[in-house]
Structure 1
Amino acid sequence: MKKCYTVEEAAEYLGTGVRFVRRLIAERRIPFHKVGKYVRLDIDDLEAFASAGRVEAFDRASVRRYVRRAS
């Protein structure tokens, strides 16, 4: 069985506040499960959410191209 987190556990896992996780749920930006009156978040969904926000770093050549386009 997969590990499901409570809202509080999910917030700790993501390193955010509980309020942020509740907002993600309310805006339906992250999948969740309702178990009666309780909300549970799947660990795989949390990892997918975190990796979707990943921003790759620039190398020196890319920075130069980016700066030239901006000016």
Structure 2
Amino acid sequence: MVPNTDDALLTRERVAEALTAAGYPISPRTLATKATRGGGPPYAIFAARALYRWGDALAWARKFTSATRCSTSEADAQRVAA
């Protein structure tokens, strides 16, 4: 279930479920790895548990999503142009 407010605080398990429901499939283990190595969404610690603000987690997922395209050749053209 996707939270209805950006300020909702979610555990790692719940944020993985919500991101997956929103179309960004990810596991709690991947989030845990990213929390250790870096590169994941921001989180806070409460009672030894990671809590993610839903708006931050969703913004993080969107940041790593490419623009829409009609074919794989569009991505190749963008790389050549860059």
Aligned to 1:10: 15
CA-based RMSD of the aligned residues comes to 2.2
Distance 1:58 1:11 in 2: 26
Q: How many residues align?
A: 64
Letter in 1 for 2:32: R
SS of the residue corresponding to residue 31 of structure 1 reads coil
Q: Kindly report structure 1 stretches of 4+ aligned residues shifted beyond 6 Å.
A: none
Distance 1:20 1:38 in 2: 16
Q: Give the gaps of 5 or more residues in structure 2.
A: 1-6, 21-25
Given the alignment of the two structures, is residue 23 of structure 1 paired with residue 28 of structure 2, yes or no? no
Which of residues 30, 45, 67 in structure 2 aligns to 1:56? Answer: 67
Q: Give the gaps of 5 or more residues in structure 1.
A: none
1:34-49 matches, within 5 Å, as 34-49=45-60
**Percent identity between the aligned chains?**
17
Distance 1:19 1:58 in 2: 30
TM-score (norm 1): 0.72
The structure number with the bigger radius of gyration is 1
Distance 1:39 1:59 in 2: 38
TM-score (norm 2): 0.64
Which is richer in helix? 1
